[in-house]
Amino acid sequence: MSVRHAILGLLAQKPRHGYELRAAFEAVVGGEEAWEVKPAQIYTTLERLEEAGLVTCVSDLGEGAEPARRIYALAEPGRQALSEWLAEGVTPTHQRDEFFVKLIVALASGESDPAHLIQTQRGRLYQELHDLTTRREACNPQTEMAQILLLDKAIMHLEADLRWLDIAEQRLEEVRRQPLPEPELRRRGRPPKGDKGSTYPPPVPVNS
Amino acid sequence: MSLIQTENLTKIYGAGEAAVTALDHVNIAVNEGEFVAVMGPSGCGKSTLLHLIGGLDRPNEGNVRIEGVALAEMDDDALTKLRRQKIGFVFQFFNLIPVLTAVENAALPVTLDGVKPSEAKKRAAEWLTRFGLGDRLAARPDQLSGGQQQRVAVARALVSEPALILADEPTGNLDTRSGDEIASLLRDVTKKYGRTVVMVTHDPRIAAYADRIIFLKDGKVVDETNLERKGAADQIASKMKEIGD
Ligand SMILES: Nc1ncnc2c1ncn2[C@@H]1O[C@H](COP(=O)(O)OP(=O)(O)OP(=O)(O)O)[C@@H](O)[C@H]1O
Ligand SMILES: [Mg+2]
């Protein structure tokens, strides 16, 4: 997803100031800590969208005015781009997982006890889960169902992370017994023609 | 002073070859007004811990102190008295009596204890009303949802005005939504009504309502986590973030 499409969507509701757009974006994604977007990014995006004819500036303030003060509206091509985006399914993004890297580094280097790492991480996740639960509790279901839904999603992700930690803990010995992921070493320089990605040392020919 | 304190609490079921060490020198302390969750794999001793704290069973070794008083030094009568006055129990299965109404069910333990029925029902109705069941006082258990039945069970545990509530898998028989409601209610029992709650659960979502989690494994405490994080370590971590990594 891109901030671009979110801006088009927010302008489909009503024309808005540049600064208002940023605040509205933050409200939708669930706050700055959930998805931080710098003002400059919003304004650059708005300028690009305007150049592409997807949005138009409808305030009296001319070219020179700061984008924060100008009012933008959705143009017809913008509406089309928006409906194309809305029509598509979303491919889930697989986040980089810092904890997984820590765990593997601990296993490979022996610098830290992986079981202890898991216990520490479990504590961290529970603290986070407690935070989200408290925030969810404070929401009013009559008026804040969108926030509740977003928090629910984050809570369920944490539940999955905690389940995964239990599984990782149970399988620690198996992982320890197996070779850890190592790169396939390649020869330096460009591979010779017709030889895509040969390994080093070269495989022993079978029929020779 | 802690409301609950255990000292080397040990419970062994059976003897000889077949002996099972359900609790192995457990030392924990729970403060007044705290909401504590106990977690751990099946068979690690969670229910046993709750039973010993509640005086339902006696340890092989070690001791439980409630408000500083050692349970080991009490005879059975004194223990029964302490249980009735100071401790309320909530279980996975609500154990309501089908032919009694909500208010009669909640009033039952204190009625059996000799409180006048009208007075007992008045107290029961108060707790039920606090738990949003003011308009269902006359409903029988089969006319209530699982979540509502469990609320009646929590009210029943509170009618004797105990300092401590012990809950064993109180959401184990409920769907996510009702489970959340019961966990939230147990939190209120500590934060709004000043009681202390120790709750066994295997559900992370439910444990997250507590102030603290005690992790058990093979009858031993393997970790404790405070869920309110105001620790210095986090401040250092957020500083690192500001610097940028
Ligand atoms: N009355 C009993 N007689 C013999 N063994 C028992 C008795 N009660 C419990 N145990 C054993 O003691 C151990 C701890 O049991 P306990 O019921 O406390 O576990 P738990 O953590 O509550 O498990 P679960 O999550 O399945 O409820 C288990 O190995 C269990 O089989
Ligand atoms: Mg149990």
Residue A201 resides in a domain? no
**Cα(B131)–Cα(B144) distance, rounded to whole angstroms?**
14
Same-domain pairing of A139 and A159: yes
**Residues of chain B above pLDDT 70, percent:** 93
Same-domain pairing of A7 and A68: yes
Q: Which of A2-6, A104-108, A170-174, B233-237 has the lowest mean pLDDT?
A: B233-237
**Residue A18 has what pLDDT?**
86
Q: Is A129 in contact with B213 (Cβ distance < 8 A)?
A: no
Please provide the DSSP assignment of A35-70 as one string. Answer: S---HHHHHHHHHHHHHTTSEEE-SS--TTS-TTTS
Nearest ligand to the CA atom of B20: 1
Q: Answer with the residue of higher pLDDT: A118 or A32.
A: A118
Residue A65 resides in a domain? yes
Residue A200 resides in a domain? no
Residue A142 resides in a domain? yes
Alpha-carbon separation of residue B236 from A34, B39, B180, B231, B233 (angstroms): 21, 29, 33, 9, 5
Structure-block tokens of residue A53: 């004819």
The pLDDT of residue A205 is above 60: no
Q: Mean pLDDT across the stretch A50-62?
A: 86
**Residue A198 has what pLDDT?**
47
Same-domain pairing of A42 and A82: yes
Please say which residue of A62, A87, A112 terminates a domain.
Answer: A87
Q: Which of A85-94, A183-192, B122-131 has the lowest mean pLDDT?
A: A183-192
**Cα(B99)–Cα(B107) distance, rounded to whole angstroms?**
14
The pLDDT of residue A131 is above 70: yes
Reply yes or no: is the peptide bond before residue B109 cis, omega within 30 of 0.
Answer: no
Same-domain pairing of A66 and A127: no
Residue A205 resides in a domain? no
**Cα-flanking dihedrals φ and ψ of residue A62, to 5°?**
-80, -170
**Residue A208 has what pLDDT?**
41
**Out of B209, B213, B229, closest to residue A133 by CB:** B209
Same-domain pairing of A7 and A71: yes
Same-domain pairing of A83 and A102: no
Complex ipTM? 0.85
Please say which residue of A87, A107, A130 terminates a domain.
Answer: A87
**Cα(B61)–Cα(B63) distance, rounded to whole angstroms?**
7
**Cα(B21)–Cα(B92) distance, rounded to whole angstroms?**
24
Confidence at A70, pLDDT banded by 50, 70, 90: confident
Q: Mean pLDDT across the stretch B36-60?
A: 96
Residue A192 resides in a domain? no
Number of domains in chain A: 2
Fold of B34-43+77-243: Rossmann fold (3.40.50)
Q: Mean pLDDT across the stretch A127-151?
A: 94
State whether residue B213 sits within 8 Å of chain A by CB.
yes
Structure-block tokens of residue B3: 């409301």
Q: Is A127 in contact with B209 (Cβ distance < 8 A)?
A: no
Same-domain pairing of A111 and A61: no
- What are the pLDDT digits (tens) for B173-207? 999 999 999 999 999 999 999 999 999 999 999 99
Same-domain pairing of A82 and A108: no
Same-domain pairing of A79 and A108: no
Q: Answer with the residue of higher pLDDT: B245 or B38.
A: B38
**Cα-flanking dihedrals φ and ψ of residue A36, to 5°?**
-85, 125
Helix (H) or strand (E) holding A94: none
Q: Indicate the pTM of the whole model.
A: 0.84
Most informative mutation of B23, B44, B202, B220 for ligand 1 (most atoms within 8 A of CB) = B44
Ligand 1 atom nearest to CA at B23: 14
CB B157 within 8 A of CB B151: no
Domain ranges, residue A147: 98-177
Residue spans of the domains in chain B: they are 34-43+77-243
Same-domain pairing of A80 and A109: no
Q: Nearest-CA distance from B63 to chain A in Å? A: 28
CB B25 within 8 A of CB B221: no
**Residue A94 has what pLDDT?**
79
Mutate to test the interface with A, among B34, B36, B171, B225 (most CBs of A within 10 A): B225
Q: Over chain B, what is the mean pLDDT?
A: 92
Structure-block tokens of residue B231: 């620790």
**Residues of chain A above pLDDT 90, percent:** 53
Same-domain pairing of A109 and A172: yes
Domain CATH for A31: 1.10.10.10
Ligand 1 atom nearest to CA at B45: 18
Q: If you measure from the C-alpha of residue A55 to the centroid of ligand 1, how many angstroms do you get, rounded to a whole number?
A: 66
The pLDDT of residue B245 is above 50: no
Same-domain pairing of A115 and A66: no
